[in-house]
């Protein structure tokens, strides 16, 4: 299977006829038809049924179209990255960042790193820990920044970056503003804003069940920004990592959670093979002195 055959196949899909597809691909129609025929021979059946008004996909054609489109997109992406690399003379470094890691805490670090090494082109991929781990395993990421809640596989290494405590977040008019210490028992009397992406969510649920504490979830969201906006509006209170709360509160107040005190540890996680990448090693060295 050749990329040109895939390109011609997708052109026919999009244009609805061999004639229009050949025109859009700037190729003679016999050449396009021959390429499609070779693709059909390889896949074991007809991909298009011809009609007076044009053509439409057969069952086999509909089956393979999504995969062939994905292959074509990925090939285009690889080509674009290669061209960009050769033209800009930069080294791409793909870093995954877990969604609950505070941008305000990490972005100054990455800005300093890139200023010191202008030949390195950073690409930050923000996603869930599960998705990032999969991309790391598949080689789509050079490194990820996360807070693992279970032991890492043997082929992965980690570097501890920093720890942060969980805080209770509320608006500046809330009664919690008068308290110095806030525990889970105190929180259960308030509407609770549940962070669906919190990696310690199940741990917290277990603690609450063990102590017979019921945190009533007035709202749930997978967006940290939405949770903070609802806290500002006085809808409820939330538990968040301390660095996720804007330093200049903008109507937000915090207290460290006590009884129990909850902490998380942030790590840089990477594959054994990444240790041979000089840019990854430079980033790790920067991590060691940056936090």
Distance CA 5, CA 25 (A): 11
Q: Are residues 194 and 138 in the same domain?
A: no
What pLDDT sits at residue 88? 53
Q: Are residues 256 and 188 in the same domain?
A: yes
Q: Are residues 180 and 158 in the same domain?
A: no
Which residues make Cβ contacts (< 8 Å) with residue 40, sequence separation at least 6? 46, 47
Query: CA dist 74 to 3, 21, 39, 70, 141, Å?
Result: 11, 21, 19, 6, 15
CA 130 to chain centre: 9
Q: Which is nearest to 144 in space by CA: 270, 281, 279, 286?
A: 270
| pTM for the predicted model, two decimal places | 0.64
Q: Within the chain, which residues score under 70 in pLDDT?
A: 80, 83-91, 249, 291
Q: Are residues 209 and 220 in the same domain?
A: yes
Distance CA 8, CA 216 (A): 56
What pLDDT sits at residue 250? 75
What pLDDT sits at residue 90? 60
Q: Are residues 45 and 133 in the same domain?
A: no
Distance CA 167, CA 37 (A): 64
CATH code of the domain covering residue 49: 1.10.10.10
Total domains in the chain come to 3
Q: Are residues 57 and 112 in the same domain?
A: no
Distance CA 175, CA 253 (A): 11
Q: Are residues 174 and 251 in the same domain?
A: yes
Query: CA dist 98 to 29, 37, 130, Å?
Result: 49, 46, 9
Q: Which domain holds residue 38?
A: 3-87
Which burial class, exposed, middle or buried, applies to 89 when counting CB atoms under 10 A from its CB (0-12, 13-18, 19+)?
exposed
CA 143 to chain centre: 13
For residue range 263-281, list pLDDT tens digits in order.
899 999 998 877 778 888 8
Domain boundary among 34, 64, 87: 87
Domain boundary among 43, 71, 87: 87
Long-range contacts of 179-183 (CB under 8 A, 24+ apart): 179/255, 180/255, 181/255, 181/258, 182/255, 182/256, 182/257, 182/258, 183/257, 183/258, 183/259, 183/260
Distance CA 64, CA 236 (A): 49
CATH code of the domain covering residue 275: 3.40.190.10
Distance CA 132, CA 150 (A): 15
Q: Are residues 35 and 146 in the same domain?
A: no
Q: Which is nearest to 185 in space by CA: 201, 217, 208?
A: 208
Q: Are residues 60 and 105 in the same domain?
A: no
What are the backbone angles phi and psi of residue 123, rounded to the nearest 5°?
Answer: -125, 120
| Ranges of H-type helices in the chain | 3-15, 18-24, 29-43, 59-88, 103-116, 129-137, 184-187, 201-210, 224-232, 278-290
Q: Which is nearest to 172 in space by CA: 235, 257, 250?
A: 250
Q: Are residues 74 and 212 in the same domain?
A: no
Q: Are residues 9 and 148 in the same domain?
A: no
Domain boundary among 38, 61, 87: 87
Q: Are residues 81 and 128 in the same domain?
A: no
CATH code of the domain covering residue 219: 3.40.190.290
Distance CA 199, CA 212 (A): 21
Distance CA 32, CA 22 (A): 6
What pLDDT sits at residue 78? 81
């Amino acid at each position: 299977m050749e990329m040109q055959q895939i390109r011609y196949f997708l052109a026919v899909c999009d244009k609805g006829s061999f004639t229009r597809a050949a025109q859009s691909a700037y190729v003679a129609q016999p050449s396009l038809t021959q390429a499609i025929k070779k693709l059909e021979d390889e896949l074991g059946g007809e991909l298009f049924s011809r009609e007076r008004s044009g053509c439409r996909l057969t069952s086999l054609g509909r089956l393979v179209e999504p995969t062939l489109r994905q292959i074509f997109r990925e090939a285009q992406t690889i080509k674009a990255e290669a061209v960009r690399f050769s033209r800009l003379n930069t080294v791409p470094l793909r870093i995954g960042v877990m969604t609950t890691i505070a941008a305000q805490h990490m972005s100054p670090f990455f800005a300093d790193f890139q200023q010191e090494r202008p030949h390195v082109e950073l690409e930050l991929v923000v996603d869930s820990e599960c998705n990032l781990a999969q991309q790391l395993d598949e080689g789509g990421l050079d490194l990820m920044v996360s807070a693992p809640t279970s032991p890492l596989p043997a082929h992965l290494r980690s570097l501890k970056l920093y720890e942060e405590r969980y805080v209770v977040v509320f608006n500046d008019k809330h009664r919690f503003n008068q308290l110095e210490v806030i525990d889970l028992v105190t929180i259960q009397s308030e509407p609770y804003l549940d962070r669906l992406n919190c990696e310690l969510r199940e741990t917290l649920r277990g603690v609450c069940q063990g102590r017979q504490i019921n945190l009533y979830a007035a709202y749930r969201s997978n967006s940290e920004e939405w949770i903070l906006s609802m806290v500002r509006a006085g809808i409820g209170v939330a538990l968040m990592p301390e660095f996720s709360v804007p330093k200049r509160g903008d109507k937000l107040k915090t207290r460290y959670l006590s009884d129990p005190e909850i902490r998380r540890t942030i790590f840089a996680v990477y594959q054994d093979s990444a240790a041979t990448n000089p840019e990854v090693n430079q980033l790790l060295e920067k991590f060691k002195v940056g936090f």
